[in-house]
Each structure stands twice: as structure tokens, then as C-alpha cells.
Amino acid sequence: MTTDERMPRPARRLVAGSFVLDVVLVVAFAAVGRASHSEAVLVGLWITAWPFLAGLVAGWLATRAWRAPAAPVRTGLGVWAATVVGGMLLRAASGQGTALPFIVVATVTLCLFLVGWRAIAYLVSRARARRQSIPR
């Protein structure tokens, strides 16, 4: 039996949805960055996004994010760190800019995006669990 066969359907949907959300947020980060510099968003979007997307995939693999895709600490921090570090290393290796202000903005923004949604999901699930445990 493979891992996919043992994983219940809701968990598979959670994993896929979490990965897609991470990808969308990384692409949104790249798009906002390009737009804020009055650069063509669609033309250069891939150039800006690909290093961070590669870092994101590395982060998912390194943290085994599919085991707890919405965990803010266990998964979120590792995925965020790999996305930033991997993205910056790949940008430098490919001749793209890695100026200190860009590193700071990328680090903070990607933390808010990749750890933030997980923290919100955690808080919402705790609130729901608390409401369900209160006797009526």
C-alpha cells in the first residue's frame, strides 16, 4: 500500500490546497514586487517567482510538509526559511538582484504569507474546537 492510498481524502485535499495556497502566495509576492517597481508584471513574473518557487518546493520536501501542511511552526517556519534562503541563493546564482532591502522585504513578506495563513488557520481551528467542547 502506498502512502497516497493510506492518506484519507480530506487530508489529500488539505495537502494539495496548502501547497497551492503557498504557490499562489509566492507568485503574489513576486507580482506585487514587480508592480511596486512599475515593472511589467506578466512579462517578468516568472523571472522573479521561479527562484522562490524552487525554494518553496525544497522547503516542502525538507519539512515533509505533507504530514502537517497547516502547522505554523513545524511546517510554516521551515517552508518560509527554505523559500527565502533558496530563493535568494538561486537569484544570486542566476544573476538577479539580492540587495539588502529586497532581502528584508522578501523575508518579512514571505513570513507573513507562508507562516501567517497557517497561524490564522491554527487559531480558527482552536476556536472551533473550544466552541464545540463547551456544553450547551
- SS3 call for 94: coil
Q: What is the domain range of residue 94? A: 3-133
Q: What pLDDT was estimated at residue 1?
A: 46
Q: Residue 10 pLDDT more than 60?
A: no
Q: Residue 3 pLDDT more than 80?
A: no
- How many domains are there within the chain? 1
Least confident of 1-5, 64-68, 88-92: 1-5
Q: Provide the percentage of residues in the chain whose pLDDT is more than 70.
A: 90
Distance CA 114, CA 83 (A): 9
With a CB cutoff of 8 Å and minimum separation 6, the contacts of 76 are 114, 115, 118, 119
Q: Which of 56, 39, 37 is nearest to 102 (CA)?
A: 37
Distance CA 1, CA 42 (A): 43
Give the amino acid at 72.
P
Q: What pLDDT was estimated at residue 43?
A: 73
Mean pLDDT of all residues in the chain? 90
Exposed/middle/buried for residue 105 (C-beta within 10 Å: 0-12, 13-18, 19+): middle
pLDDT band at 7 (very low <50, low <70, confident <90, very high): low
pTM, two decimals, is: 0.87
